Structure formats: C-alpha cells, structure tokens
Amino acid sequence: MLIFDRLRLILLTNRIKYLIMKKITLFIFLLAMSIGYAQQSLVQDFETGTEGLGEPFGGAAAEIAADPETAGTRGQVAKLISSATGNVWQGLNVNMTSNVVLITDKTMQIDIYSNEAVTIAPRVQGGLDGAPVSTAVVSHTGSGWETLTITFNTGSNGDDTANGVYSQFVIYYLWDNGFIDPAIARVIYADNITGIVEKQLVQDFETGTEGLGEPFGGAAAEIVADPETGGTRGQVAKLISSATGNVWQGLNVNMTSNVRLTTDKTMEIDIYSNEAVTIAPRVQGGLDGAPVSTAVVSHTGSGWETLTITFNTGSNGDDTAEGVYSQFVIYYLWDNGFIDPAIARVIYADNIKGIRVTPPADTSIPTTASATPSSYGTHLALLDGLTDTGTFTNFWNTTYTFGEAPQLLDLDETDGVNIAARINLKIGWGGGAKDGNNADVLTDVSEYDTVHIDYFIPSSVEAGSNGHQFYLDLISQTNGGNTEAFYGFGTTVGGADSGVIDEVVVFDAWQSIDIPLATFVGKGFDATNFLQFKIGAQSDIRTQLGYFDNLYFYKASTLSANSNELLGFSMYPNPTSNILNISAKETIQNAQIFNVLGKEVMSLNINKNSESIDVSSLSSGIYLIKYQSNGAVGTAKFVKE
C-alpha cells in the first residue's frame, strides 16, 4: 500500500510538471506572437463620408450608406455595388488615412457584411521603395458582419507576396478561384479597414530652430550637424542637461502634426549617445481630454539607435496614453525616476515619428492679433518671446517654467510677428527665475503701478461643469514663504483665492486689461519681492483654453506721447464738465475710462473716427481713457470738473 501511494505521488508530480511546462510553453508562444505582431490601427472607417471612397473602376459603383444590419450601430459604411455589365475585375480604390506596413506581419483586416457567401480579393499597391504589388483572397460565410483577416502572402492574381510599406488599398468585388466571369450583380458592405500603420515624421529638425520648442528646468537645446563621424543626417537636436538645473529638466518639441496613440501606443525617436542613457518622453496637449502620458526608453550607448517609445507604462505617475496629442516632451534625466541630483550630459535626437493625425480646423484660434501695446518709459515686460510688440526695452525672463508649456502662435497676418500663447488652463502655465547658484531671483516691481495682460477666450470651447473662471496669479516670496495673489475672470463676480472672479469675462475678442498693482498688493502680493507668475484656472472643470499676450508692469504716468501722436488722437475739452470729444486718424474700435484707482467706470463700442462721450455722471477727478484704433492701443488723461 505504501509503495502504491508513493507511485501515485510520483505520477501526480510528473503530471503537475507537465502542465506547468505546457503553460510556460504557451506563455512563451503568446509572448513571441505579441512581439512579432504589432497592433493594427484603423486606416479607413468611412465615418468622414465620401472622403474614404476613392475611385470605383471597371463598371463598379460605391457609396456611403448607413449600417445595413437591423438596429446596427456602425454609423457610416461603404456600400460596394458590382454590375453584371461591368468588367470582371471591377472594384474600388479605398483612400487610406495612413500608409500600412506589411513586412513581418503581412496581414490587414476588414469588416464585410453580406447575407450570402462571397469571396473578394483585396490588393495593396503604391509600394514605397519598390515594394511589390500584392493581392490576397478572403472569403465570407454570409452571416452578416464578419471581421476578415487578409494575408498578403498567397501570390494571388499572379502578384508577389507583400513586403514593404504601401499607400493604396484596392478591393476587387468578384472572385472565385479567379475573377468571376461573366461578371454578376451583387451588393456587399465594408467597414473598419485596419493595418499596421507606418510611423511618419513629426519632427526631423531640418527646418532649424522651428523644431525646438522651449527648454525648461535649466536645460538647453540647439540645432547642430550630425555628431557621428561622416554622418549623413543633416541637422539634429543637441540636448544639453545641466548639473545646476532641475531634475525634471527637458525640452518641448514642436511637432509638425498631432499624433494618435489609441490602439497603437508607440512612437519612435532616434537618439545618439556614446554612453548608456535613459530618457522619459512625454505626450501632452491631449485633445478631448486625452490624458498626459510619460514613457521610459533606454539607449545602449552605441551611437545612433532608433528607440520605440511605448506610452503604456504609467511612468511619472501619469496614465496610459489614449487619444490624439499635440505636444511632445523629452525629459533628459531618468533612471527609475528623475536623476537626483541632476547631472550634466549631452545627447542628440532626430527623426521623431508617430501616427500622424491631420487636426480639424481649429475655430478657437483668434483671427486677429492682440493690439500693439502703448509705450511707457517705466516698464517691465515679462517674457520677450511673448511680449514681442511695442517699444519695450526692459524685460524679465524665466529660467524655469511649470505647468504645461503653451503653444506659441504668430497671429500677425502680415510679414510682422505677433506671438500669442495658447494655454491649457486646466493645467496652467507659469515660471520664475533662479541665479547661477540655483537660488530664487526676487525682483522689485514696486516702482510700477499697473499690470497689463491681453486675453482671448473662445466661446467655442465649453467650460467645465463649474463654469468659466481663470486668473493671473502674481507670486511673491517674503522671508522664505511664498504668497499667491489671484486676479480672476469669469461669469459672475465673487469667490476667493484661486477661484476669485474680479471681472466678468468677455468672449471671442481680444481684451486689454490694466489692473492696478495695488489690487494685487491688497491680496497679499509683496511688490518688492516678485518671484513667479502663473496663468491658469481654479481647476480642470473651469475655463479650458485661452490665448494670452502682452504681460507687463508699467507706470501709467510715463506714457509716451508718441502713441497718441502716431494715431492722430485728439481729445477736447480738457478739463470737461459733461461732454468729452475724441477723434483719431483711423477708426476707434472701442474705449474704456478708468478712475485713478484703476477701476473701469465706462466702456463704449465706437467703430468710427470720432465720438462725443457724456461724462457728466462721473465724479470730479482725474481719469484715464484707453482706446483701440487701427490695431493699436492708446491712452490719455483727462480731468472731469
């Protein structure tokens, strides 16, 4: 009995070992399959209508139709109609939204609807670099919608096996061990054509500094020649980290197109280094709420290497990518987290690729630039790359920024330049300055009496569930402690702190706002120790998007008379007791009147060269009138008796 039990134990042990080995073998097989075959992505679903249909040929027809299945939920599909009087080789050229790669994995997929068994012959052509034309054959059982896998390795129709990148997809409607001869009339439906989409260049730095966005955190970047001896890459990006910078230093890259990271969550980048390095690329600026996502990718130190970036690791506490993205960031220093302390090193980048998405027309972008600022003898303009018009000579620039870097747009319709910042207010954006020892730089702005900012809020971008609200935040530092002073805009005046609304927001037109510095001081701002600024919203359920320009401090009494002279502005009588007459060489679009405390007491839309303004209701005192004429802003003082 003891011997029998022992034998049974040996047999059981061997059975367990067998099952374990079988599962391991299956796991390895599945892993190999997942490595060998990339995920397929849509290249046509016909939801954009006839754009998806190319040209039918051979007497065939095609049209966009609703899902033929009873209570079907597919939206728009392609109706493919063959004709008995057409050629046996009739069919349709389909407009793919991206090229497809058929090298290791030679398959695509298509959804076909039919209530009878049919066979079709899909074909890929338009091969890049000599990739051969290839035709496959695929059959449908007649059971309604079926997802069919097309394998381009059968050599059908006398063609070769696919091997390369293809730009064209064709469907031959009639096949049965060759073209059906004579042709017959029938109707089938097609939807959801997928393939492995070719990654396309979204930045190769060949246009120079246009490809470089703003470095941050103490990092630097420049355009240089290929560092490899005898290299043929032309221009590349040199990425320079600093040991005195922040651990999260890096570069915002200007992509030439949005990228889609949905089914396929990968991008590619070429990195050059002679030592092993790890970087953390990030995608942000997601459309329709697509989450920020950071990935990690390593280089072996062997010169130029093409690295595949997979945005599904949840690195840096971010989510897996899912959606369309407009911004690409490279964090230079990573090793199981940001390298701390920061180190100095140099790497090079080139040929960033992703699945390109042509963005729809953006109706939120202002059609005009903000007005040219008035000239003040005493001023401090923030960010010379943003406050880039007017006659400013004294600038305060950041050495670091935080939040999400804005997209900088030139809105000047002429050969001139007028940059505005497109800011994702859900996250916000701001910055400050540090010295060579990484100590905070504090700036005394107490000699100025007014803060100016221009904003444009598009009504086409809906606010979050708590309604519109955004702010300008001036941050000061006293005795090592930081204080934030918020000036807010929104639908209803009220609130406090980061949720405050001091002015009612105006939509779809540039607004030039002058805020007395005393207002910020009254909210706790220490004007002798200005540290940082920030533009944002209270939360991600308030105002989503805004455009901003011309952020500066100034002393109102130092307004240059040249502004009014250039605009041909005149005003009389001054002083006045009831009527103030104003005129200019060009049309005066609007005017606002402010009291000595900076509070707006009157606002007018004028849209003509002259106007008589009734000021009889104003209290006696000194007032400032600010007007906009011919795209410029001017100001002048008058006395109400």
More confident residue, 15 or 365: 365
Share of the chain above pLDDT 90, in %: 72
Q: Summarize pLDDT for 270-285 with one digit per residue, the tens.
A: 999 999 999 999 999 9
Residue 97 lies in a domain: yes
Q: Summarize pLDDT for 621-635 with one digit per residue, the tens.
A: 888 888 888 767 777
Residues 6+ apart with CB under 8 A from 212: 205, 221, 222, 223, 237, 251, 253, 254
pLDDT at residue 25 tops 70? no
The answer to whether the beta carbons of residues 119 and 159 sit under 8 Å apart is no
Residue 155 belongs to a domain with what CATH number? 2.60.120.260
Confidence of residue 360 (pLDDT cuts 50, 70, 90): low
In this structure, the answer to whether residues 235 and 264 fall within a common structural domain is yes
Instruction: Report helix, strand or coil for 19.
Output: helix
In this structure, the answer to whether residues 207 and 247 fall within a common structural domain is yes
More confident residue, 487 or 384: 487
Region for 495 from its dihedrals, namely left if φ exceeds 0, alpha if ψ lies in -120 to 50, beta otherwise: left
Under DSSP, the state recorded for 564 is H
Q: Summarize pLDDT for 187-203 with one digit per residue, the tens.
A: 999 999 999 988 889 99
Among 357, 391, 410, the domain-final residue is 357
Q: Cα 48 vs. chain centroid, distance in angstroms?
A: 22
The answer to whether the beta carbons of residues 321 and 312 sit under 8 Å apart is yes
Would you state the pLDDT for residue 289?
87
Would you state the pLDDT for residue 598?
63
In this structure, the answer to whether residues 14 and 136 fall within a common structural domain is no
Distance CA 127, CA 131 (A): 4
Residue 372 lies in a domain: no
Q: How far lies 243's CA from each of 174, 249, 441, in Å?
A: 67, 10, 19
In this structure, the answer to whether residues 99 and 183 fall within a common structural domain is yes
Please state the domain count of the chain: 5
Would you state the pLDDT for residue 568?
82
Structure tokens at 85: 């009087």
Q: How far lies 291's CA from each of 286, 287, 288, 317, 335, in Å?
A: 6, 9, 9, 11, 23
Handedness of CA 457, 497, 290, 411 (dihedral sign): positive
Would you state the pLDDT for residue 112?
98
Among 195, 217, 251, the domain-final residue is 195
Residue by residue, what is the 3-state secondary structure of 242-260? CCCCCCCCEEEECCCCEEE
Would you state the pLDDT for residue 19?
40
Confidence of residue 252 (pLDDT cuts 50, 70, 90): very high
Residue 368 lies in a domain: no
Would you state the pLDDT for residue 596?
67
Residue 363 lies in a domain: no
Structure tokens at 12: 């059981």
Residue for token pair 């606010």: 463
Residue 2 lies in a domain: yes
Would you state the pLDDT for residue 561?
57
Would you state the pLDDT for residue 415?
75
More confident residue, 389 or 70: 70
In this structure, the answer to whether residues 155 and 298 fall within a common structural domain is no
Residue 82 lies in a domain: yes
State how beta strands 76-82 and 186-195 pair. Answer: antiparallel
Distance CA 79, CA 113 (A): 9
Question: String of b and e for 509-544 (b: at least 16 CB within 10 Å)?
Answer: ebbbbbbbbebbeebebbbebbbbbbbbbbebebbb
In this structure, the answer to whether residues 475 and 610 fall within a common structural domain is no
pLDDT at residue 383 tops 70? yes
State mean pLDDT over 431-453: 96
Residue 166 lies in a domain: yes
Would you state the pLDDT for residue 563?
62
Q: Summarize pLDDT for 62-112 with one digit per residue, the tens.
A: 999 999 999 999 999 999 999 999 999 999 999 998 899 999 999 999 999
Q: Summarize pLDDT for 294-337 with one digit per residue, the tens.
A: 999 999 999 999 999 999 987 888 999 999 999 999 999 999 89
Residues 6+ apart with CB under 8 A from 269: 281, 297, 306, 307, 309, 349, 350, 351, 352, 353
The residue range of the domain holding 217 is 200-357
In this structure, the answer to whether residues 527 and 612 fall within a common structural domain is no
Q: Summarize pLDDT for 482-501 with one digit per residue, the tens.
A: 999 999 999 999 999 999 99
State if pTM tops 0.75. no
Residue for token pair 């080139």: 350
From the list 191, 187, 193, the residue with the least C-alpha distance to 114 is 187
Give backbone dihedrals phi and psi of 25, rounded to 5 degrees, phi first.
-60, -45
Structure tokens at 410: 């030139």
Residue 369 lies in a domain: no
Among 524, 539, 557, the domain-final residue is 557
Confidence of residue 529 (pLDDT cuts 50, 70, 90): very high
Q: Summarize pLDDT for 583-603 with one digit per residue, the tens.
A: 988 899 889 888 866 677 898
Residue 455 belongs to a domain with what CATH number? 2.60.120
The answer to whether the beta carbons of residues 186 and 198 sit under 8 Å apart is no
In this structure, the answer to whether residues 135 and 49 fall within a common structural domain is yes
Confidence of residue 11 (pLDDT cuts 50, 70, 90): very low
pLDDT at residue 10 tops 80? no
In this structure, the answer to whether residues 111 and 229 fall within a common structural domain is no
Distance CA 15, CA 172 (A): 52
Q: Summarize pLDDT for 138-147 with one digit per residue, the tens.
A: 999 999 999 9
In this structure, the answer to whether residues 550 and 587 fall within a common structural domain is no
Residues 6+ apart with CB under 8 A from 244: 218, 342, 436, 437, 438
Highest-scoring range by mean pLDDT, 129-143, 401-415, 591-605 = 129-143
State mean pLDDT over 379-386: 90
Q: What is the DSSP string of 154-183?
A: S-GGGPPPP-EEEEEEEEES-BSSSB-SS-
In this structure, the answer to whether residues 307 and 386 fall within a common structural domain is no
Residues 6+ apart with CB under 8 A from 123: 133, 134, 135, 136, 157, 159, 169, 170, 171, 172
Distance CA 442, CA 309 (A): 40
In this structure, the answer to whether residues 506 and 581 fall within a common structural domain is no
Give me the amino acid identity at 131.
A
pLDDT at residue 400 tops 90? yes
Rounded to the nearest integer, the mean pLDDT of the chain is 89
Would you state the pLDDT for residue 31?
37
